[in-house]
Amino acid sequence: MGEKQPEAMPHMASADRHDEAVVYLEGHGDVHPNVDLVALRRKIDRRLLPYMFCCYVLQFLDKVMLNYAAVMGIKKDLKLAGNEFSNTATWFFIAYLIAEVPNVYCLQKVPAAKWLGGNVFLWGVAAAASAGASDYRSLLVARIFLGIFEATVGPSLMLLSSQYYTRSEQAPRFTFWYMGLGVAQILGGIISFAFQHVHHASLEGWRIMFLVLGLITAVIGTLTFFFIPDTPIKAKWLSEDEKVALLQHVSENQTGVWSSTLNLKQIKDAVFDAQLWLLTLTTILISVSSGVVTTYSATLIAGFGFSGPISALLNTPAGIVSIFFTLLVGFGIRKTSNRWAWNVLCTIPGIIGGGLLSFLPKRNKAGVLIGIYLVNAIVATLPILYQWTMANCAGHTKRAFASALVAGSFSIGNIIGPQTFQARDAPEYRPAKIAVLATQAAAAVLSVVLFLYYMWQNRRRDQTKGPVNEAMVDETKWAGLTDRENPYFRYAY
């Protein structure tokens, strides 16, 4: 028996003329670059990653500042009663979720870098406006606008990363910019501690904190808008040879680079794609704990009787845990792949932390503190899920839709998380702690289900079409197909 030949597929014979990379490569067909890809990657890293990192630090810092403001007197100053503080956290993520709908369209029509920079500037304005809140209603409005403008950060960074790097190269880059979350946790505690020692006759410390961070964010947004290129093709700091070499290099993703054409067929493909809903549900479960950590960790620590400044400082080790596990999984995936196993690995400390929070007596301060810190290991699962989504969703419209869906599911988990903290459950908040334990365990199970699903899909495609060879991949690199349409696409797990 000879090697099984691929079937002729007329719809794949021509490349997707809507993708900018296709048009560019066709115009440079006579260019055969001799480029050092390692040096090229380093050049791209230097130009992109600092901005991406700063954006992610600030988007988490602007969110977590509400956490620290809780121990800086914002509840008393604004006369927040009952569940009003929880509601401000919840409505941020409701706005975040709603904004993901237009994000799908806008990321199709506007280059991700421009859309990101503009929104970062506007969320800086919204964060600064929080300083002027006079009551529950005005704080709520400021947080809603903050949620609308921050909604694009995850999808935009996912799309940018997928434009410049192959699937295996994306993991450490996702890790680098996502590490900003842990850095923000550490900085947040230190910043809160510092501003709690600022005493001004007319302005409380938390107001000055919101104002300063908002202005810094607006500056970073402006720099991002002007200094991150729309696409690799628009990068003035890349030579023609480097652009061709980069596009040829990332073509192995079979996902395209960027197209402004909205393909409704690809959205339909995404809606009926089982893997995307498994990724979405896993992200929701993971994000319930993230919502607890983001909004209430400082409150839980303050519940031990510590003062506001000490509570802020005691929250900083959580950032060290986040950074450690984020680095561990990022480079682990680069070396061994097995995203599902790394996802499960990070839920184990989360489960242990949830158990310590739920069942240790409150007088055991050290044990409960360790539980709070361990729960932060689960934040490292989110870059895995983000990168998993980009690696396994092909077609620009489908990738834009998938990135918005997964980012939106992150907000759903964060809506649920703060709502598990009900005023009637204070000061133990036992139901919220048990929710952390249960959702982490469920996320671990779903990670295994995803692994089995991808294995089954790849095996089924191997049996139908035979092993993938380079000629088959070349045929579909720029065909504009989704992963489900392309029989030679193989899922990463």
Q: In angstroms, rounded to a whole number, what is the distance separating the alpha carbons of residues 417 and 285?
A: 10
Task: Band the pLDDT of 386: cuts 50, 70, 90.
Answer: confident
Cα dihedral 147, 151, 154, 157 sign: negative
Q: Which two tokens stand for residue 109?
A: 């029509």
Confidence of residue 481 (pLDDT cuts 50, 70, 90): confident
Q: How confident is the model at residue 2 (pLDDT cuts 50, 70, 90)?
A: very low
Tokens linked to 315: 């929250």
How confident is the model at residue 426, as a pLDDT? 72
- Mean pLDDT of the residues in the chain: 83
Give, as one character, the DSSP assignment of residue 6: P
Q: Is the pLDDT of residue 471 over 80?
A: no
pLDDT attached to residue 341: 93
Q: Is the pLDDT of residue 265 over 80?
A: yes
* Residue with the larger pLDDT of the pair 307 and 35: 35
Cα gap 476→484, rounded to integer Å? 12
Q: What are the C-alpha distances in Å from 422 to residues 75, 353, 357, 466?
A: 15, 20, 16, 56
Q: Give pLDDT, residue 7.
A: 40
The pLDDT value recorded for residue 8 is: 38
Mean pLDDT to the nearest integer, 119-138 = 93
> Distances from the Cα of 168 to the Cαs of 48, 387, 398, in angstroms?
18, 10, 20
Q: Is residue 48 scored above 90 in pLDDT?
A: yes
State which CATH number among 3.40.50.620, 1.20.1250.20, 1.10.150.130, 3.20.20.70 fits the domain covering 38-241+249-476: 1.20.1250.20
d(CA 388, CA 234): 27
Q: Tell me whether residue 428 is exposed, middle or buried, using C-beta atoms within 10 angstroms of its C-beta: 0 to 12, 13 to 18, 19 or more.
A: middle
* Whether pLDDT at 93 is above 90: no
Of 172-186, 244-258, 377-391, 438-452, least confident by mean pLDDT is 244-258
Least confidently predicted of 108-122, 185-199, 216-230, 302-316: 302-316
pLDDT tens readout for residues 315-330: 788 889 989 999 998 8
What is the rounded distance in angstroms from the CA atom of residue 52 to the CA atom of residue 454? Answer: 30
Residue 120: which residues within 8 A CB-CB, separation 6 or more?
55, 58, 59, 149, 153, 217, 218, 220, 221, 224, 225
Residue 484 near residue 269, CB atoms below 8 Å: yes
Of 89-93, 414-418, 441-445, the one with minimum mean pLDDT is 414-418
Q: How confident is the model at residue 345 (pLDDT cuts 50, 70, 90)?
A: very high
- Is the model's pLDDT at 190 over the cut of 60? yes
